Structure 1
Amino acid sequence: MNPIFSKLLLVLLLPFSFSPKEEVKKHPFHVSNTEVAYNAKNKSLEITCKIFTDDFENVLSKRFKSKIDLYSKSQEKEMSAFVKNYLESTLKFVIDEKSMKYNYLGFENDHEATNVYLEIGNSAAFKTLSVDNSILYDLFEDQMNILHVEKNGNRKSTKASFPERKMAVSF
């Protein structure tokens, strides 16, 4: 190999060999996904929020000034409390112009993402669903939050990009 080429290659690759582990893990997109399915039989909204685990741990750590490890089985109760508290402050639902509270059911890790499960019970068939979603907005200025809503076989989707927080679908 040509010595000049070897030195050039070394100069170009050297910075990557000393990159912190965190930077190697980073992904180029900052996005969360909220799936809402209307269960007509139970008259409930079944909600799943999917958030990249590394981003979620970072925002929880920043918010609660604590070491966060969503994979830790021994700290599952404590982590669950952090997740619930964070979502209560960043995710709100309005059905037919009426603000609705949801029940936090728990979370689980799915490869590189964390799925958070919520439910709104006693919900009659609705015409409009509005969501105020600021998940990860306190961490990224390029954050995008996507909403998918399924009702009676019809699926509608929308998105909000920082700083916009409001999303709505009508059936």
Structure 2
Amino acid sequence: MATLIYKWLMLFWLLPGTAQEQAKEVHPFHVSTTEIQHNAAEKTLEISCRIFTDDFEDALRKVYKAKADFSAPAMKTAMDELVKKYVPAHLQLSIDGKAAAIKVLGWEKESEAVFVYMEVDNVPSVKKAEVVNTVLFDLFDDQMNLIHFFVNGNRKSVKLTYPEKTAAFAF
């Protein structure tokens, strides 16, 4: 009996598929989180976007046909360029009816996620905002993008599920 169980276990481990593919099955949800904070004193919007590292790397590879590895120190400059191209193409803001220019400040990898930090200058106040978020929509048809917007201590949140890409906020 033990031999039979052993053979079945060996068959399971010998099935096709890499460790990376098996690891992706562990995280079946495709979610990003974007936080937008109005800093009235500095007249800026401070933005952070949290994206699962493996999904983000896959999207960059697919969209730009380039090698993508957030863990490799030698790839830091290349990853900076890819992030600066990808995120503004997939995250747009308009404040009080005017398009806002998002400036990517940088990124950092923490555990299994990459945090991208951005800023919008010259935003004295926010009454209405529109956010278009298609992060990872080019990779997954079950992608969810959560957006949390903070103005004067008020938090408003929206969940966008593919193909829904636009959220409107009023403060």
Query: Which residue number corresponds to residue 21 of structure 1?
Result: 19
What CA RMSD, in Å, does the superposition of the two structures yield over aligned residues? 1.6
- Is 1:35 aligned to 2:32, yes or no? no
**What is the rounded CA distance, in whole Å, between the counterparts of 2:21 and 2:70 in structure 1?**
19
* AA aligned opposite 1:46: E
- Segments of 5+ residues of structure 1 without an aligned counterpart are none
1:58 to 2:58 alignment: yes
Q: Compute the TM-score of the two structures, normalised by the length of structure 2.
A: 0.92
Moved more, 46-55 or 74-83: 74-83
Aligned residues: 168
CA distance in 2, matches of 1:14, 1:143: 33
SS of the residue corresponding to residue 75 of structure 1 reads helix
Question: Moved runs in structure 1, 4+ residues, more than 6 A?
Answer: none
Number of the residue aligned with 1:79: 79
Q: In structure 1, give the amino acid aligned to 2:169.
A: V
Q: How does 1:101-112 map to 2 (within 5 A)?
A: 101-112=101-112
CA-to-aligned-CA distance 1:86-119 (integer Å, 9 cap, x gap): 1121110011111111111011001100000000
Partner of 2:146: 146
Distance in 1 of aligned mates of 2:152 and 2:7: 59
Q: 2-side partners of 1:90 and 1:166: how far apart?
A: 11
Gaps of 5+ in 2: none
Distance 1:12 1:163 in 2: 40
Q: Report the more deviating stretch, 5-14 or 114-123.
A: 5-14
Distance in 1, matches of 2:62 and 2:51, equals 16
2:8 is the counterpart of 1:11 = yes
The CA deviation at 1:15 is 2.4
Q: How big is each residue's C-alpha offset from its partner over 1:66-85, in whole Å with a ceiling of 9 and x where there is no partner? A: 11111222221111100110
3-state DSSP class of the match of 2:109? strand
Aligned to 2:129: 129
| Distance in 2 between residues matched to 1:93 and 1:72, nearest whole Å | 31
